[in-house]
Amino acid sequence: MKKGFFDRRQLALPYVLFLLVFVILPLFVVVYYGFTDAEGHLSFANFLAFFTNMRTVGTLVYSLVIAILTTIICLLLAYPVAYILAKGEYARKHSFLMVFVLPMWINFTLRITALKEILTLLEGNLAFHPFLNTIICMVYDFLPFMIMPLFNSLAKLDNSMLEAGADLYASPVQNFLHVLLPLSVPGIVSGVTMVFLPAMTNYVVLDMVYNSTYIMGSLIGSYFSSYDWNNGSLISAILLMMIGLVTMVTNRLIGDKEVASR
């Protein structure tokens, strides 16, 4: 196999180094700061303080509500779109898909600014509906991230499965619930992970639509700007744990499906 100057392992080296320095190491730094105090001693005080303060827990809840709502709405909007694009009988599917993904090519602050003006036209004063506007802008911002993985998983799906379901007298609803939906779980899972967690921290959207209530991302920013590295890192660490949890649960889900579909 040795034809070029490097073998495969050597070629992987820069990436391994990159991952170590820019991904693994920072994670350890975050966890280290999160669970030490200002003097560098191991401490769970920040952790306890976070979960006993009604305001910080409130921020977590508020972020979760925003993220869950955004994810659900994205999923409801994206699924039919992805299905039609993937299974529809027409040419140039990919061009249509492109149209949905195209907004991602434009800087999102620019898009939100434009959307803000449209919402101002519709609502008048934006400040009276900060929560609604946050959700609208979040959904707009994250929708392509939901469509893409759903499209990919639906496009790969074997049509004969659906046909078999229909042949066995499954109603369209049954066919959807028992055949299509279970088979598209991997797409749903990756779409959800791509939307849910960023939505918890994307505070730029809140700033832009004049929502003055903090979410997890703004809390991290406010701690860092008052030089409180420990509390800022702690919140990042809490988010990290949530990512871990979500990934574990979803892996379990995908694993089950793969077993079931065999």
By CB under 8 A, name the binding residues for other proteins.
Answer: 14, 54-59, 61-62, 120, 125-128, 207-208, 210, 212-214, 218-219, 222, 224-228
Shortest approach of other proteins to residue 140 CB, angstroms? 19
Element (H, E) at 243: helix 229-261
Shortest approach of other proteins to residue 113 CB, angstroms? 10
Determine the Cα–Cα distance for residues 140 and 73; give it in Å rounded to an integer. 10
Are 115 and 90 within 8 A, CB to CB? no
DSSP secondary-structure letter at 177? Answer: I
C-alpha to C-alpha distances, 44 to 23, 49, 51, 236, 242, nearest whole angstrom = 24, 8, 11, 15, 18
Determine the Cα–Cα distance for residues 89 and 77; give it in Å rounded to an integer. 20
Query: Which residue is listed with tokens 């066995």?
Result: 168
Q: Which is nearer to other proteins, 194 or 209 (CB)?
A: 209
Task: Report residue 3 as tokens.
Answer: 């034809």
- Best CA proximity match to 72, nearest among 172, 188, 242, 181: 188
Q: Which is nearer to other proteins, 123 or 163 (CB)?
A: 123
Q: Which is nearer to other proteins, 14 or 262 (CB)?
A: 14
Q: Which is nearer to other proteins, 176 or 224 (CB)?
A: 224
3 state SS of 7: coil
Determine the Cα–Cα distance for residues 45 and 37; give it in Å rounded to an integer. 8
Determine the Cα–Cα distance for residues 72 and 59; give it in Å rounded to an integer. 20
Determine the Cα–Cα distance for residues 197 and 101; give it in Å rounded to an integer. 20
Q: Which is nearer to other proteins, 53 or 247 (CB)?
A: 53
Residue 113 burial (CB count, 10 A): 11
Q: Which is nearer to other proteins, 41 or 55 (CB)?
A: 55
Determine the Cα–Cα distance for residues 237 and 247; give it in Å rounded to an integer. 15
Task: Report residue 172 as tokens.
Answer: 């369209």
Q: Which is nearer to other proteins, 56 or 175 (CB)?
A: 56
